[in-house]
């Protein structure tokens, strides 16, 4: 029985080496997700990942990181609904000299360890990555587009709608020596959970405009995201609770989602009212300065 199990696993790993050498990602070539996420492919009673087959050789060591950046290139630990972020997965080689890299990542609308629907909102992958839907899971993944010479992969991800709650990224990757086998390679997996931010937003009662404040509470810089059905100029005003105008600006916004940064570092701690308005529309939201 042990010999049969060993042979089975060896056969699976040999197939893995073959499709890796063909430079196709698992979702595209095999119809599977192998990120370790709940609902992805299993190998017996454990998730099937890059680590299932790509064994660490002598002097070869690898770890992996997932990083999420906003449009200001700042790392984030929670997400604003509807906002687009840049996801960077890096296969970090601690020792050894691999010649190529691969990876796969998925995002589930659930807390870490819980099963859930995938967000299916990846776009704009880097040249060494591609987006694919696995036929066996129906999920959207981003994965390597051929054996990559570089160890970093990037893709845009648009956060889900408000009220989704926590989401989790699951990724696995490998560092390979391209000898046609899995021996002497290295592999690692990583996860990253993002909580949903608690934005303050108030819709115009007549429709057509929404604003989101992040972070809120805020210390130095407030990012205001305006979602409008038409391009227009808006007065941007910040009032204290006594009705005194503290900040004023006029900003032109395009149709759809636009972002505006307000420096509130000089404001005293307390609650403020942020107001966007023009002759046709108005939206307000409360801001807490800490």
pLDDT at 236 over 70: yes
pLDDT at 174 over 60: yes
pLDDT at res. 17 = 43
Best CA proximity match to 157, nearest among 197, 194, 114:
194
Give the start-to-end residue ranges of the domains of the chain.
2-196, 209-289
> Cβ(28)–Cβ(140) under 8 Å?
no
The topology under which CATH files domain 2-196 is Immunoglobulin-like (2.60.40)
Structure tokens given for 279: 């002759």
- Over range 4-9, report the average pLDDT: 41
The full 3-state SS of 17-53, as one line of letters, equals: HHHHHCCCCHHHHHCCCCCCCCCCCEECCEECCHHHC
Instruction: For residue 158, count CB atoms less than 10 angstroms from its CB and return exposed for 0-12, middle for 13-18, buried for 19 or more.
Output: middle
pLDDT at res. 104 = 98
pLDDT in tens, 105-163: 999 999 999 999 999 999 999 999 999 999 999 999 999 999 999 999 999 999 998 77
Q: What is the CATH number of domain 209-289?
A: 2.60.40.3080
pLDDT in tens, 107-121: 999 999 999 999 999
pLDDT at res. 229 = 79
pLDDT at 209 over 80: no
Query: Average per-residue pLDDT in the chain?
Result: 84
Which residues touch 11 (CB under 8 Å, ≥6 apart)?
A: none
pLDDT at res. 16 = 42
State the alpha helices, DSSP H only, in the chain.
2-21, 26-30
pLDDT at res. 233 = 87
pTM of the shown model: 0.68
**Percent of the chain surpassing pLDDT 90:** 47
Domain 2-196 and domain 209-289 have a common topology? yes
pLDDT at res. 10 = 41
Confidence class for position 205, pLDDT limits 50, 70, 90: low
């Amino acid at each position: 029985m042990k010999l049969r199990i060993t042979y089975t696993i060896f056969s699976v790993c040999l197939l893995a080496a073959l499709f890796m050498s063909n430079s196709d990602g698992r979702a595209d070539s095999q119809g599977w997700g192998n990120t370790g996420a709940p609902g992805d492919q299993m190998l017996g009673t454990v998730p099937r990942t890059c680590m299932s087959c790509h064994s660490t050789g002598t002097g070869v060591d690898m770890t992996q990181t997932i990083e999420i950046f906003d449009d200001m290139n700042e790392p984030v630990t929670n997400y604003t609904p509807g906002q687009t972020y840049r996801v960077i997965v890096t296969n970090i080689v601690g020792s050894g000299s691999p010649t190529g890299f691969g990876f796969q990542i998925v995002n589930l609308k659930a807390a870490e360890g819980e099963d859930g629907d995938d967000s299916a909102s990846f776009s704009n992958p880097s040249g060494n990555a591609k987006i694919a839907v696995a036929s066996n899971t129906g999920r959207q993944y981003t994965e390597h587009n051929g054996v990559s010479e570089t160890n970093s992969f990037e893709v845009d991800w648009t956060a889900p709608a408000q009220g989704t709650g926590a989401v989790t990224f699951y990724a696995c990757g490998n560092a390979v020596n391209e000898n046609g086998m899995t021996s002497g390679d290295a592999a690692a997996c990583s996860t990253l959970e993002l909580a949903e931010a608690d934005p303050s937003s108030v819709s115009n009662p007549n429709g057509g405009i929404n604003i989101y404040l992040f972070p809120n509470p805020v210390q130095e810089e407030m990012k205001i995201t305006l979602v409008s059905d038409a391009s227009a100029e808006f007065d941007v005003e910040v009032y204290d609770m006594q009705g005194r105008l503290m900040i004023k600006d006029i900003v032109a916004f395009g149709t759809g989602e636009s972002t505006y940064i307000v420096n509130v570092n000089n404001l005293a701690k307390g609650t403020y009212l942020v107001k966007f308005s023009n002759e046709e529309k108005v939206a307000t939201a409360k801001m807490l300065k800490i």
